[in-house]
Amino acid sequence: MAKKTFRNYRWIICGLLFVATTINYIDRQVISILKQNVILTWPGWSELTYGQVVGYFQLAYAVMMLFAGALIDRIGIRKGFAIAIIWWSLAAMGHALSATVFAFGAARILLGLGEAANFPASIKAIAEWFPKKERALATAVFNSGTNIGAFITPIAVAWILESLGHWQWVFILTGALGFIWLIFWLLMYDHPDRHSRVSASELAFIRSEPPEKEQRQSVSEMFKTWTGLLVHKQTWAFAVGKGITDPVWWVWLFWVPGFLFKKFGVNIKDLWWPILIIYTMASVGSIAAGWLPGAFLKAGWSVNRARKTAMLICALCAVPVIYAGVTDSIWTAVLLIGLACAGHQGWSANIFTLSSDMFPKRTVASVVGIGGFMGGLGGYFISNIVGWILDKNPNNYLPIFIAAGCIYLIALAVIHVFAPKLEPVKLK
């Protein structure tokens, strides 16, 4: 009996990517929820120590980003994503083995190595399953999993602590989620050309643009791909844009719970409501800014004008967050951080799509990997700087908010200098 086909199976695939991204962010954010009430009470821990341990994750994430994209290009999305989620789920559970700085540092390194594959694999899957006119929206949808994961985490952490009483169970149970997702992934994912659930009409829609030749590379060819990509200004537009804006998201993810605790006395049990507001706004911003370029394109705008206008709107949403560093109103602070997160997620959806705007599908994961390396490297330095600032003055968040509010406008200027027209790269 023939399997039933679907007219919009590509959105089911997008849903799988959304759930994987949600799990990815749950696993990386647990440490920030436990930070103030659990981790900083252990011997040998301080704001600077926490910043260094968080930085280990980002440094490992950055280094692996260089290889993750090329390896996904090499072995394929289905197998590569499966290996990655097994790795990072085991690493997430490994945090439960010890409360020492060394053990947490090792677990964070392993987690960063595994989680680095999520976005290169997801962006490549979007490039395979969606035509260009839908990619920004599809990217925004799966990328909104970052917001859902960030919202679910404090609720899950509070519930597990209250039900089971031991912080170790938090890492074990949240880490196990990846293995549940893996079952659905292996049952449901394949390339659209080979998938039995894809209707002929949907496949024609996916293939409505000129086909690109796919190829698998040897290790030496991967290095040639990187060096070949690095000579193009478009690569640097994407990489520098990611390198100076990704760290802001790391700050929101790893430091906002501590800021709310110190400034307004919000503990783990009460953390869910400000996090809900912040990441609901972030989700709306992600999807709205993902939809916006498509609307501009339908109105007859060029890809360059549509993409950069959307990114400018997102950049302007971040500027008011500067006031969150000085206000005494928790509602004002939460709403301003939420607006900044909405701007970041909308920015993220569009800057990710820059890679498929300017590069052929066979190199998208490699380009995303290079950008992810720059973002992770920037995040490593920012985590150490933030930890140092707060160690010197535990309530001195203002310089952090000033930098977070201004950096997107700077990044957009850099992108425009390197890629003034978003011209497609012509590779040999």
User: So what's the pLDDT on residue 418?
Assistant: 94
pLDDT at 390 over 60: yes
As a whole number of angstroms, the distance between CA 25 and CA 286 comes to: 16
pLDDT over 90 percentage in the chain: 62
* Residue 285, both tokens: 């911003």
The letter for the amino acid at 48 is L
> Quick one: pLDDT at residue 206?
83
pLDDT band at 214 (very low <50, low <70, confident <90, very high): low
Residue 373, token pair as written in the block: 């390396």
Q: What is the mean pLDDT of the chain?
A: 89
Between vectors from CA 370 to CA 226 and to CA 252, what angle results, nearest 5°?
Answer: 175
Crossing angle of helices 233-264 and 219-230, in 10° steps, is 90
How far apart CA 416 and CA 77 sit, in angstroms, is 31
Highest mean pLDDT among 346-350, 404-408, 417-421: 404-408
pTM of the full structure: 0.83
Show the domains of the chain with their CATH numbers: 9-204+215-418 (1.20.1250.20)
pLDDT band at 57 (very low <50, low <70, confident <90, very high): very high
Q: What confidence tens digit (pLDDT) does each residue in 153-209 have?
A: 999 999 999 999 899 999 999 999 999 999 999 999 998 988 888 888 888 888 886
Backbone angles phi, psi at 76, to 5 degrees: 95, 155
Residue 211 burial (CB < 10 Å; 0-12/13-18/19+)? exposed
Q: What are the φ and ψ backbone dihedral angles of 198, each rounded to 5 degrees?
A: -90, 125
Question: What pLDDT is recorded for position 1?
Answer: 42
Query: According to the model, what pLDDT value does residue 241 have?
Result: 95
Burial code (b: 16+ CB inside 10 Å, e: under 16) for 160-177 equals bbeeeeebbebbbbbbeb
Give residue-wise pLDDT tens across range 318-377. Answer: 999 999 999 999 999 999 999 999 999 899 889 988 888 888 877 777 787 788 889 989
Over residues 229-242, mean pLDDT: 91
**CA neighbor of 379 nearest in space, from 256, 237, 241, 248:** 248
Is the pLDDT score of 21 beyond 70? yes
Q: Average of pLDDT values for 67-89?
A: 90
pLDDT tens digits, one per residue of 311-320: 999 999 999 9
Res. 221: pLDDT tops 90: no
Give the model confidence (pLDDT) of 127-154 as tens digits: 889 988 888 789 888 988 888 898 899 9
